[in-house]
Structures are given as structure tokens and as C-alpha cells.
A = this chain, B = another copy of it.
Amino acid sequence: MNYPNGIKKKSIISNISHKNRGMTLENDLNETNEYYREIDKAYIYKKPTPIKITKVDYPSRDKAVIKEAFFTIPSTTDYNGVYNGKYIDFEAKETKNNTSFPLANIHSHQIEHIKNIYNHQGIVFIIIRFTNLNETFLLLGKDFLDFINNNNRKSIPITFFREKAYLIKENYRPRLDYLKIIDKIIGGI
């Protein structure tokens, strides 16, 4: 659990259900991004959880304690940063579904954001983990948008991922070397 970036009930639940591996996708990506920073390869961070603060107490002049706040729907994706001067942007999601990824997991604002970043030459993608199958895919924003534009389905079948996306192998360090895939696709940026 990554307290500084906020906790959600579903993260806690997924932590428990993944105890066979002990790691959530978020943890794997945070460790990977930390590794990229350590080796000075890329500077990519998870954004803080967006919240709406409704009550703050000031027990003393310099201290503020948030006494009431709510999680809000994000208007952008969770991760972004720089890699060789290029803008990198992605969303990461886990699903317990074995046959498809439900699109309800990605908000319409986020789809719009992915489209904008793609149109503005950012390197944008989604990372989807099928937790029960232990398969983690990187799907380029372009292919994700193509699917949405050409289908009325409410979920992306795993066959689409197996055909169009890139499987990210799990390693000890970095846990999920997704930039290796970006290097291959983009061709030595």
C-alpha cells in the first residue's frame, strides 16, 4: 500500500487477492519508475490521487489537518513524465476478468485525455494486467483508440490484447520494464 499517494478500498482488496505474488500493478510500476530514476533513464511519476477537500483544521499556525475529503474522478491518466525529452503518459489497470478488460475501468475523461496526448505526439499507452492469468500488456494509445472507434463493445477481449498489445515480462528489477517495449516500438528515441 502506498499511503502517500492515497489509498482506496479496491487497492486494499486487490492487495489481499494478490497475496500469491504480494505485489499489485501499482506497486510494480512504482518500483519500476523508481528504478528508472535510479539509473537515470527516465523520470516518470504516479500523480497524487485527486481528491476534493471539504474540511481542513488548523490546530496550529503551521499545521493543517484535512478532516474531510472525497476521492474524485481523475481527468487525466495516473502516470506521466519525461523520457529522452519525450512526453510519456499512461494509465494502468488491473482486472480479475479472464476473458476481457471492462472499459468501465477507464473514465471517459481519461479516454479523451489519451486521444489528446496521442494527437499531440506524446507517447501514450495503457498497461492492463489480467491478474488471474498473470499477464500484463502494454497497449499503445493508437490501438486502444482504434478499438473504441471501431467497436461498440463495453470491454476489450483478451484476444485483442494478445494480438495488438505487447506482453510485459515480470522481472526482479525492474519489475515491469515497459520502456524496453517503447524503445522497440519507437525505435531508439
Contact = CB atoms under 8 A, between A and B. Distances in A.
Contacts of A85: 86-87, 120-122
Contacts of A3: 52-54
A87 B82 contact: yes
A117 B43 contact: yes
B72 A4 contact: yes
Contact of A7 (B8, B45, B56, B82): B56
A108 to B, nearest CB: 16
Given A51-B51, A64-B70, A86-B85, A9 B58 contact: yes
7 contacts: A7-B53, A9-B58, A40-B119, A43-B113, A43-B117, A82-B122, A85-B121
A50 interface: yes
Copies of this polypeptide in the complex: 2
Interface in A15-45: 37, 40, 42-43, 45
A76 B116 contact: no
List the 6 closest A-B pairs by CB distance, nearest first: A85-B121, A82-B87, A66-B69, A82-B122, A87-B87, A48-B50
A105 interface: no
Contacts of A5: 50
Interface residues of A, number: 50
A81 interface: yes
A84 B121 contact: yes
B76 A45 contact: yes
